Homo-oligomer: A and B are copies of this chain.
């Protein structure tokens, strides 16, 4: 979200609230009324795949929007829960459009926000479709690093809020494979990793090694 967008968003009616780690923000199939802006904290979205097993479809950091998957059919497509204590703004979807009526610029902003989501999926699709396990993890780390960097946090050192199992599910591989890839990266001096803490992430090295290029 850019500065202009943020200013307009702040003028929209909304309610703030907090949810605890592990609490659900919304569930698959629930009626969609709100888009949610993440003030602080981290969330994960997941789909219930064939066979009932969970498939992580995304992680949401502070400053990002959650819930747009509900627009298409008026009900949420995914289940979203907090990975740590999280502060949110609930923005009523109808207000988004009340604001937009007669304002062509605002309509573009909204459309773009939604289409950004499409682009993210496009990119992810390529990651999942054609990349090896190590390439996937590299792409994931670079993406996270960029998102943290964009919010003013360190790009080289950060704390993963999600488990190996959740990363694995998101990337479409097994958790053991994620663990092995981390170990390989450590041996190759691309990073220091201890449990969920990442230090000295060597962005250029990873990008060069894996030719990863994210939007």
Asked if residues A72 and B118 are in contact (CB atoms below 8 Å), the reply is: yes
Instruction: Give this chain's copy count.
Output: 2
Q: A132 to nearest B CB, angstroms? A: 12
Interface of A is mostly: helix
Binds B, one of A12-20, A47-55, A152-160, A176-184: A47-55
Which of the residues B51, B107, B130 comes within 8 Å of A211, measured between beta carbons? B51
Interface size of A by CB at 8 A reads 43
A198 within 8 A of B: no
Which residue of chain B is the closest to A49 with respect to CB atoms?
A: B126
Interface string of A132-164 (1 = CB under 8 A from B): 000000000000000000000000000000000
* Distance of A111 Cα from B111 Cα, bound (Å): 7
Decide yes or no: A50 and B211 within 8 Å by CB, A112-B71, A129-B55 being known contacts.
yes
Contact of A121 among B101, B104, B111, B122 (CB under 8 A): B122
Could you tell me the distance in whole angstroms from the C-beta of A101 to the nearest C-beta in chain B? 6
Partner of A71, one of B50, B73, B115, B213: B115
Bound-state Cα–Cα, A52 to B117, Å: 24
Which residue of B has the minimal Cβ distance to A119? B72
